[in-house]
Structure 1
Amino acid sequence: AQSGPFASLVLDLNRDDYYGHAQRWFDVRNSAWLRWLDAQAALSLVVRGAGSVTSDVPGVACTASCRTEWNEGTPLVLTAKAAVGQRFVRWAGACAAETHECATTVTDSTSLTAFFAPARFQLAVAVAGRGRINGAGAPCALVRCVRSVTSHRALTLRATPAPGWLLRGWSGACRDAKLTCRVPMTQAASVRARFVRR
């Protein structure tokens, strides 16, 4: 039990008070002007590379990592835009697509990443012996050819030996002795095909 000079002034001293509304007088809790606030949720966005992400409604305009607050359950359409000389690669997290637009709903823990990369990478192709490599624009049958190709778009290269020659193997971004080789082009790359006489 509480004691002291202020004990009698403590609200609900003996914990026997309660609130009951008889509906016969005004109560702010029943007011039509009372607005209940929606639960809030955070949208965490990471931008990798040179580009920006915006939303279809005002709120998101990010060129780097950012965090915004929304009413939980808010639907958003996010749009990724690459800077000059760059290209949008893909989304990760709440959006898992390779299109520029992504539809998502903000929940308690919504996070996503937008990846951008240089629009093109160089692919250096080299040939040793007699043969050629196809699949990176014009066929290459020289000691060294350099091609500018779209980044993050895999290329399938094919080695074609000249008559009386065979492929001994690849080096660089390709490592085995199969006639075809897949290069992901997530960065600048070089490949070399070595042909030998039968």
Structure 2
Amino acid sequence: MKTSILTKLALGAVMALSMGLAACAKKGESSVRVAKRGGEITTSSTCSTGASSVGRIYNQSNQAAFESAVKIFVSTTLPGTSFGSIDASGQSANGVFLTMNLRFDSSGKIDKSASKVLVQIKDSFVGQVDSATGKEIPAYEVQFVTAYAGTLNKSARTFNVTFQDNLGWIAFSGTYDNNNAWGNVYFQNYSSVDGSSLAQQTMGSFWVPSCGLFN
């Protein structure tokens, strides 16, 4: 998707604000994430029209970097070695799926309690039968049901939102039109079960249908 110079500049400013908010965040000031393979999902994946509101997180230029970043992200609760391959193209049944429901007031300030995000990771193990349990392996899901911070600029059509808890934070900085929203995803873990990096990371790019984002 092509973006204008003005859009790129706006995204840069939004990205800086979002990352600044996350860097200043105190641990534990947002709701604790739900993170596991299979779980109770409350994020709406359907637009008011009935269309799907599920988007993707991807990195079409670097498969290895994307898979590494995703496995670092999940290491707050599970070792990266417990995951199979994770497609970076954003175009296959295997990969990282994204659903966001955000709400802002008239001034562009986020309504924290009405904003949530679901990151669903469908690695190559999904659908296989776990030899230990005899059950089919479900997707790994990370859901935040309360935002930490966020802003919306309606004139520039840009937004940023950060979700965080005592395990770390994830931030989305992007722009939108009447059909889709797109931008970049950043995160930082505060702890890791397998010794993965605790430095700030770029997971990749994202897109989601606008009808679900501001539903």
TM-score (norm 1): 0.20
Q: Flag the structure with higher strand content.
A: 1
TM-score (norm 2): 0.19
Larger Rg: 1
Q: Flag the structure with higher helix content.
A: 2
Select the structure with the greater relative contact order (CA < 8 A; seq sep ≥ 6).
2
